[in-house]
Structure 1
Amino acid sequence: RWSLNGTLIDLGSDYRRHMSGGSLIIRNLDKDQDSGMYQCTAFNTLGSILSRRASIHFAYLDSFKTQSVRSAVNVREGQGVVLLCGAPPHSGELIFAWIFNEYPYSVQQDSRRFISQETGSLYIAKVEPSDVGNYTCVVNNTVTKQKVLSSPTPLVLRSDVEIHCGSLTIMIPLFYRLASTMRPCLIGNMSWNSVPAAKESVVKLECFALGNPVPEISWRRPSGVPFPSKVKMKNSNAVLEIPNFQQEDAGMYECIAENRRGKNAARGRISYHAKPQWLQTITDTARSIEENLFWECKANGKPKPSYSWLKNGEQMVAEVMARVEIENGALSITALNLSDSGMYQCVAENKHGSVYSSAQLMVLASAPSFSRSPLKALLKARSGSEVTLECKPQASPPAISLWKKGNEILLRTERITLLPNGTLKIANVTKQDAASYTCIAKNQFGTASTTGKLLITEPTRITMRPTNMEIIVGESIVLPCQIASDPALDVSFSWAFNGQLIDFQRDDTVSGDLMIRNIQLSHGGKYVCVVDTDVESLSTSAILVVKGSPWWMSPESNFCQLQLISCPPGPPDKVSVEEITDSTAQLSWTPGRDNGSPITGYIVQARTPFTVGWQVIDTAVPEVVNGNMLTATVVGLNAWVEYEFRVVAQNVVGLGEPSPASAKTRTEDA
């Protein structure tokens, strides 16, 4: 719907106005009926918002008052003169021109003659005999294209000399006439002592001077900052034009008029103005009933914008709304109720324009519901672990929650924690914690509950693990991986080789053994068995070293050295511990032979008095040791334990022989 000057437009009874979509179309515009301020309101069942305001003004241009020929203007040759136009009543931009004697002879502007487009006045810096005649002011309305003419103003020469500048008038005898001169006298539209200019507008400053000889006009900025290339000088420098005005164009400007008798200057300031622009706006918000709302909007602009707030298109006044506070761009509403729902607008406004920010406030009121977040019907947990049960009902206002174990209300204990958000935590669970658990949520609109069963299972154990092995090409092997687990658990097995999951192209089974037939050199590496259950994940690993046939792998054959065949790399050497802490060790080594195929990586192994044989250990820097690295930092060591380290090299053929062990080194105490 549309309003004009605050009154709703009744489209049903107005044949000239109709709407197309949201647009208002007006036919046969009428100055009396259609002038004013328009505003559009958009609304639906959730509320209303207002558009920014727009106005329609009708341009017009009245005729000059009927009168006889204007009084003659007497002036002496060599002196300056101003002929006033005095525009009639009008609306809309005007353009001024002057006719000399009769149409179509118009006054041409030059350094001696200037027509102000601010006042319409004609300025002649130094009158010459050829200037004598009748002058008619022509006023054009750029919107209506109307043109009106004033009565002629005769310009005649006097026999004595009158020097006039401002309020000073000096009469000079006639015999001085031909030799008389005058320093520049600045006149014209010098009302730009302080000019407000809007951002991106076109700013025009006018400056003209009377004088003999004809003064020259120039412009400068007292600050010394040069004019940018966009600044234009027009009409013999009488007009300075600044298109697309920006903040950096603001400041002092000085006009200088100069001839050989002297010079005169005038200066004024252009101040930067801009309509508001948003720095912070409001966004759609949902709040529970009885909660508080705080919205803030911020805008810049010059002059500094003022703020107002609308709800569903109506002005909000804090004084008549006890729960509402409005301070500049901030809106606060305490203890929201359902009637506060609707469309809100923050309006920032100064004399150059206004901006609107709109948002919907939804005040929610509903009984608790677990439809989107019920407890799992069956939750399994390993004995000794910590269990977390989340109670997340949808409710407005937020619901108060309590827990039941079976039919008994659950209370806090050393192992049981009830968090303010409704979450239940049980530490170090045992078989006695197995039960049905119910979360009950309640607010003033109703109650809801959700129930789940907690099942406590025994920890899963790996009963048979794969071990590090050495095997000859062509043989077959089974890497065992067997477990003992709670019968209530679902168990799956998977294997990884050198960090990549093995795709068996079949479903996982409860049997975790891995069989490898007809082993090749490329099968050498690290194998990891991963056991996944409903409640935990376990893994165990082993290194498989694949060797070629003894006859060509023997040192006497020298096949690898002669590069007749590629072999696994030779053993690294000189493994040493450069630095050791309570849990890490910095190792270095020298490479062995690559045996015809570049070394692609190294595996670090360790041994202690408490381990059975050599075990692969993790490295952190780098996490994967490539063939170009000869140092690594091992992690996960135990404090105050004596360690030996060795390194195994690998290439595309397989893993080579391990290096000799490093010297025994004890980690630091913790």
Structure 2
Amino acid sequence: MIAPNRNGVMHSSWLLCYYHSLILLLISILPQGSLVSLLDIQGPLFRIEPPYRFEFSNEVGGRLDCSAQGSPTPKIEWLIDNTPISYIKDLRIVLSNGSLIFPPFPETGYRPDVHATVYRCRSSNEAGVILSRFVHVKAVVKQKYEINVNYEHNVILGNTAVLRCQIPSYMAEYILVTSWIQDDVNIYLNTDTGGKYVVLNSGDLYIFNANPNDGYKSYRCRTVNKITGEAQSSVFQTRLSITEPLGREKPKVSIEKYMKLTVKLGDDVILPCVAQGHPLPTYSWYRENREDRTNLRGLDLTNPRYKILVEKAGLLKISNIRLEDEGKYLCWINNTVGEDTIQIALSVTSPLSIQISPQLETIDLGKDVTIQCKVSGFPVSSQSLLWYHNGQMLNSVANRHKINLTDERLHVRNVVKEDKGMYQCFISNDMDMVQATCEIQLGDASPELIYKFSDQTLQPGPALSLKCEATGNPPPQFVWTLDGFAIPENNRFVVGQYVTIHDDVISHLNISSVKDEDGGEYSCTARNSIATVSHSARINIYGPPFIRPMSKVIAVAGKDLTMKCPVGGYPIESIVWEKEGKLLPLDMRHKVLPNGVLKIETVNKLTDSGTYLCQAKNHEKQVYRRDVQVYVSTPPKILPMPPALSGILREGQRVALTCQILEGDLPLSFEWKKDARYIQGVSSAYNIQGGSGIVIRRVDEFTSSLVIEKIHSMHSGNYTCLVNNNAGTDEASVQLIVNVPPRWTFEPLDQNIKAGHSVTMHCQAEGYPKPSITWKKSVGVDTTEYKDFSYEPNVRQHGNGTLEFTSVAKSNQGHYLCEAKNNIGSGISKVVFLRVNSPPTFPQKTKQVTVMKGEKAHLMCKAEGDNPLEIRWRIEGKRVNEDVDPRFSIREQVLEEGMISELGIANVFRQDSGTLSCLLSWDS
């Protein structure tokens, strides 16, 4: 094998075959446009994240689901200790959709490394990696167990009995007490009210004020296995043995004297306290002072959140638990003989949650970025906050990563490419673990060449490979040129490029068996949507002078022109330029450089068009000549258009925009845009819903006209004419503003509302200029005279034209006029009526009437309110019916705001004495 020279060039035909194979493989892997498609990437986000704890029965098996969204579709893996797990026959299966299956297994198939360990789900794609919370898996092997209660429970008459299910310790965490059965009656968990029986969340049954009758009843507890759902009752039943007190007895605690309780924020909790004694013990509650934990203070039982469930018992219920309720509580039990205490440590928890900001951020290289996680829930410690980047834990030791646990922030300084990807923050306690995810994408970055080929001088024959490597975002594309011209279309030249795992782009230009004509200045140009960067170096191949063919050159009048003579061969003594037989330079605008570059300043169409000849000569007086044709073209220039058409155009009129060219060579092509979108052309079609009504006409070779035959508000916008030829492009814009008279977008409507309620009256209109909305109210009952709406304390007019009434009163009733004007046309208006319905009332609630026996009684009932109203009469609760008893007569008179009903009773007698009522009803 031949070793590379100092420029990294290997001269070997075997190596050349290797280059060809590599490049062809890379091209087949990366189809056209693949570099751009790499940008359409979205990092993984969990759709389904597995739980923190997962327990299942060996008889049923279990399934853990984990799925994520992203582009491309993320890959799902399950880990133990950061190592991907494998399939284990009959014990563990990973499905293609990411689910983890634990099949049912016999007791002998139990394996702690499979059935009692911590798993984690990992999701990854090209954007990065995320991890799920830890998943504590525990398979519960079915075991036989019995639920028992004591055969007999002794309790002193009048005291409280506490019955407890006896659950084997190895099953205690899976068994829940659901109820107690007293004879054939179920007593369920009940902590809302006091009574004879209370079942706490612990499953204990409290029987208050025990009496001899309680001794004739039997009790049994009923449980359920929360893993299997299996229900089971205690094997035996228990009874109470009620004993008479044998003299005075000091309190004897019936439950644990020291206990810990945990309750969720917002839930209710019962603090148990019970003892037996004679005389009956009394109970007092205290709690530890939060500021000074050595002192106790009595609980204020007048607080509505505190409640003693049963009188003369010690169960304290605290409702709607708050964080400040956490602490130590003491129940003091005493009677005339002695005392005792129960201490309870109450812990308050709240579900963990975490929010990350930002969720998606684009950062330019070299900039700083800060990610913050806001944690809620308790108990929690800031020290348990963990940060991950693409599945790897971060720490503050890293030079550019700074973790502030107090502010829950991660700060990344001087972002580099390796910092992109998925960031996660995790927080945990003994009950749960939660995480939040942020994706950091790299912002657009100009290409930067990180490897460049250098000048070389070679003999003809060997292979040559030139390499350029660039970084940038989007990843740049490379273009190779030779003396400013495209690389020759020759089988000896092969160009290839590929993207590394770090998103750097490497491009090679490989030449097999170089010839003297291949010499020249080679350039690699890296280009993305942000910028372009180039590198050039001279490759000299020994041999006589040679000038490669040059295609015709089109110069732009008024601009500078630079042409390079593409000379091969080495060494070259001189390169000169001629025009029509005359050696250049001809004037001060011409400059000929030693490397064969011709520069012409401010190109003139008359003097600079024509045929140019380049000549190269070496020391052996060998000469090579090649000519090139230069055409000078004039770019188009548009006659300035008026800056704006406003104030004179109204809907329905006609308008024409003309684009006229002052100068420029033919052929010319015209295009029109509205608000930066093409009205017609290949780039994109412009479409106005319902038909644009736009017609574009080519008046002649130098003029284009855009005609709108019937303008509409949708035609308002900025119109641009673009014209181009082979020398350049010009554009001119004009703003078109269409004046539109007002029209309703929300026409006001009549409203009917009860007094005291709120109501809104909408009035909204559109047009150009934007219409102003005003409200007026009619004067009196006349709907032809309106005055500007004056201030009323319960009325508010919003900027969008809506009129809002709060607590409507009768005084608000009336006709309202809404007007919309913008000085285009006469404007629009609408009259609406606001009716306020007042609930009917009786001005006089009671009245006593005395009538002589045998005379006629006249009873008057007057109601005020909006009609229609109906009044009915009743005597001692029975409806008066004048059709049944001719002594009764009813007359009614409808008033403007109410009615009067008169009940007449002819020939009254003593039995008519009593209470008469008039009942009022109305249509609401």
TM over 0.5: no
Q: Which has the higher contact order (CA 8 A, sep 6+)?
A: 1
TM-score w.r.t. the length of structure 2 is 0.33
TM-score (norm 1): 0.44
